Chain A
Amino acid sequence: MKYLIKFRLGRSVFERAIDPRMYVEDLKELGKAEVKVIRENIPGPEEEPTDDHCFHADITLETEKGKEEILELLEFILEDGVEVTVLEGEEKRESKEEEKKEDDVPPALLENYRLETEELLSRLRTSLDELAQNPGSPELINEVFRSFHTLKGNTGLILSYREESNLRYIHEITHRAETVLQKARDTGIGLTNRQVEILQEIVDRLDDLFLAFTEGREEDAEDVFTLLEDLGSVEEKKEKLVNGEGLTADVSALLNVASQYIPVFRELCSKGDINQEEEEFFRRSLLTLYKVTKDLGFKDLNRKIKDLQNAFGNVDFKEFCEGLEDLAREIQKMVEEKSREAKEEKKKEEKKAFDASRYITRTGYLKVEESTVKDLMDIVGELSVFKEWIYLFATKLDRVYRVPEASRELKDNIRRFRSLMDSLQRTVLEMRMVPVSTLFERFPKLVRDLSRMLGKKVKLQIEGGETKLDKVIVEKIAEPMIHLIRNAVDHGIETPEEREKLGKPVEGTVKITAYQEGGSVIIEVSDDGRGIDVDKVWEKALERGLYTEEELSEMSEEEIMQIIFQPGFSTKDQATELSGRGVGMDVVANAVREFGGEVQVRSQRYAGTTVRLTLPLTLAIRKVLLVRIGEVTFGIPAENVGEVIKVSGSSVKSLKGTRVIYHRGKVLELEFLGEKLGIKNEQNGTVTLLVDNHLTRGVVVDEVISTIDTVVKPIPDIIATAEEISGITILGDGSVVYILEVLK
């Protein structure tokens, strides 16, 4: 094949950092080339490109390559003046459709895609929830658009490696959603509530598709296309008419006309005298202005122009000119005002956009492996022990080595060290804290799925998603929370028909609230459903042999309700599809108590149920009560201790072989820790008791020394210990203290 390639390149390529000689070199590599440079004036690196700069050359090229390939090589400069003609040889019809290679996605890329998709879907959920509150917000619409856009791009990338049906769906769906959002964004129309709802459903389905992709199964998503159609066809609002400068179209039209005439008016006026031709011009121009202002609805201006028309020829020309000047000023003033308004509006929007962008950079989280944070936590723990050792050494410097000056100086510095250590500890703890919204964001989908499945109408309200909690705890409460929500939708909320009969709103409400209360985080799951039937709980408790009639009759309604958390209890006679038999609230209670949490239920028959979880802020640092038994110091987790009391030895009674005391109307079973652990309890007139949270048991110790915040470490496996000992902690002086889980 022989080609003639003409380069007629000018300024435009030099403005784009293109050196045409590079392309000549590339062409030479394709075969035998003859280059005839006609004109060459290429700007230097620091030189501003001008119209004088050019590169004109004719190249004849003999090569095996097809025309397509040559055109592709020259793609970036084709439109700037390059012509390729075939001189000799058949133009081969090259099949551009090369067979699609099924080479697989590089693992790193795939991993990246997985991570980012999860993040994008989660971000979409958050933004859509916010958008549901505020469907007109341009920033939020843009954020949602951007997430869809990125997801589409990334998915397309993976698809270019591997054809996969789930990804094909994701690609198509995100593309169509993006188109609708782009329109909503660019026209400033915003979205309707219905559209936001549809988008939420679409995101749910994208989630399903993505899961199917990761699990390697095929998911059918034809249903989504109906959603997409609904999304696009939802009624559109009227488009806003705003031109480039932000001036409304009417003002800028007026400005246009006025700026044509007014300078000429002024010039003529400055002459002080006009001829017939100029007189005609005035009349015509005024008429045009009159029409324009009338059409555009500028009533005041229109009236002024009419006055001027009447005045023209009837009053002194100078007077007329003054009137004209007045009008010009008026128009000027109005345009300035409008333009200022537009600018302010724009500024406001920019400010908003800036805030939004700040939000985006703020979410730029660093992903760190959990074990790294845990290691860091451990190091901080050891450091604080070391800190205490230095302090002891400082004392030793004074007392033993007799260098009080050095001791004092060291101690002064330790004080600073200590405060730094404290903030280090706080910061590391903070690293483990995540907003509970990371968990909550899954719930809207859960509730939607559940209500669809059960034929119920349920609205989910979430409050306090920003409340922070140790990530480990957030993970641990995921299951129990899902269980509670299932219960609320399945057993709590009635069917729409039932609710109507009861005079309740047809749509039931499930509310999740999170907030911090002291050192704990409270999460409540409440519903406005049928509530718990205390009689039924009573019956079942008897039936299962959990309590005797006598015991039950002494309990308050509230206490009876708590029985639902006991193992093997379930008020629902028939196991439903969702909450299988035997897995009841006891699972929830166990999971929560495992890490020192508490669970409680409140319910009003026919009005609803609230389950309240009280969770520790963090698992890393625990408040521990240091107690002494004989000569030994032990730690007892403070969250297990309801109260500490001192009673006289004579108030200890014996009941059926166990020692008990009466306290606040309750019988407390006593456990003498010393005896159990083989240490002798001191015998003096009083008994010190730690009472559990439920006022059922008391643990006898010799003395409560203090409470400390400390890192509790699990006991190394190689050490065999009594089962009551759950961990160890190291005190400042380096001594090791065993943690006793005796009140759980």
Chain B
Amino acid sequence: MKRALAVDDSATMRNLVKMALESVGFQVDTAENGQVALDLTRKNSYDLIITDINMPVMNGLEFLREFRAVNRTTPVLVLTTETETAKKEEAKRLGATGWIVKPFKPEDLVKVVKRVVR
């Protein structure tokens, strides 16, 4: 079973991502900020990570930087909003595989996930 990590400080968003990924057969862990996510990636290996950018403690960009320093193979998708183009570019520079624009429905997410994970 493929394993994914959903990182978002909003429980609603976290659960939506979890729900969507579980619908296509992922086992999903969740984290409410980058620090928690980073700790999880040190313990487990993931086939996919989906992270929000704007989070307390450690934001998604900081997480990406730290994570990519040790891992260049796991696809990471960032959740952005229409207006955050600068952040999207920054995320790309830091190694984000792709992005999903909020708000999205589970099926949109699944579509994007299929483009980055086999």
Contact = CB atoms under 8 A, between A and B. Distances in A.
A16 B13 CA distance: 24
A214 to B, nearest CB: 15
B118 A22 contact: yes
Given A45-B73, A76-B115, A146 B98 contact: no
Contact of A156 (B68, B98, B99, B103): B103
Nearest to A354: B57
Interface stretch (A157-165, A253-261, A277-285, A535-543): A157-165
A357 interface: yes
B16 interface: yes
Interface string A426-437: 000000000000
Contact of B13 (A23, A79, A154): A154
A115 B11 CA distance: 10
A361 B57 CA distance: 9
A157 B12 contact: yes
Interface string B62-103: 000000100111111000010000000000100111110011
Contact of A17 (B15, B19, B95, B118): B95
A157 B56 contact: no
B42 interface: no
A144 to B, nearest CB: 12
A73 interface: yes
A73 B105 contact: no
Contacts of B44: none
A16 B103 contact: no
B15 A153 contact: no
B16 A157 contact: yes
Contacts of B76: 16-17
A109 B16 contact: yes
Give the dominant DSSP class at A's interface: helix
A48 B95 CA distance: 13
B103 A113 contact: no
B10 A160 contact: no
A15 interface: yes
Most buried by A among B68, B71, B96, B105: B105
Nearest to A358: B57
A146 B55 CA distance: 8
B98 A75 contact: yes
Given A150-B10, A153-B10, A76 B54 contact: no
A49 B71 CA distance: 12
Contacts of A142: 56
B104 to A, nearest CB: 7
Interface string A106-125: 10110011011000000000
B73 A146 contact: no
A721 B39 CA distance: 60
Given A22-B118, A76-B97, A160-B105, A146 B12 contact: no
Contacts of A356: 56
Nearest to A14: B72
Contacts of A379: none
Nearest to B98: A76
Contacts of B16: 109, 157
A149 interface: yes
Contact of B15 (A73, A108, A150, A360): A108
Contact of A73 (B68, B81, B115): B115
Contact of B19 (A14, A108, A156): A108
A108 B15 CA distance: 9
A18 B10 contact: no
A238 B95 CA distance: 37
B11 A15 contact: no
A160 B103 contact: yes
A360 B98 CA distance: 29
A16 B96 contact: yes
Contacts of B96: 16
A115 B72 CA distance: 37
Interface in A464-492: none
A106 B9 CA distance: 21
A387 to B, nearest CB: 40
B84 to A, nearest CB: 11
Given A14-B72, A76-B116, A149-B54, A161 B105 contact: yes
B72 A15 contact: yes
Contacts of A116: 10-12
Contacts of A159: 103
A156 B12 CA distance: 11
A160 B13 CA distance: 13
A17 B12 contact: no
Contacts of A150: 9-10, 13
B102 to A, nearest CB: 6
A341 interface: no
Given A15-B72, A76-B98, A154 B12 contact: yes
Contacts of A73: 115
B115 A112 contact: no
A26 interface: yes
Nearest to B75: A17
B23 to A, nearest CB: 11
Contacts of B118: 22
A357 B57 contact: yes
Most buried by B among A159, A360, A364: A360
Contacts of B105: 160-161
B99 A76 contact: yes
Given A108-B15, A154-B13, A157-B12, A17 B73 contact: yes
A15 B95 contact: yes
A49 B72 contact: yes
A271 to B, nearest CB: 45
Interface in A1-40: 14-18, 22-23, 26
Interface string B23-48: 00000000010000000000000000
Contact of B103 (A17, A45, A115, A157): A157
Contact of A153 (B13, B56, B92, B98): B13
Nearest to A43: B72
Nearest to B91: A16
Most buried by A among B13, B68, B99: B13
B13 A18 contact: no
Most buried by B among A17, A73, A153, A156: A17
A75 B101 CA distance: 12
B72 to A, nearest CB: 6
Interface string A94-138: 000000000000101100110110000000000000000000000
Contacts of B99: 76
B103 A146 contact: no
Interface string A570-586: 00000000000000000
Contacts of B74: 17
Interface string A329-360: 00000000000000000000000000011001
A146 B19 contact: no
A561 B114 CA distance: 74
13 contacts: A22-B118, A26-B115, A76-B97, A108-B19, A146-B9, A146-B54, A150-B9, A153-B13, A157-B104, A357-B56, A357-B57, A360-B57, A364-B32
Given A14-B72, A79-B92, A153-B103, 14 more contacts: A15-B72, A16-B76, A17-B72, A18-B75, A18-B116, A45-B72, A73-B115, A76-B98, A76-B99, A113-B12, A153-B13, A159-B103, A160-B105, A357-B56
3 closest residue pairs by CB, A with B: A76-B98, A156-B103, A157-B103
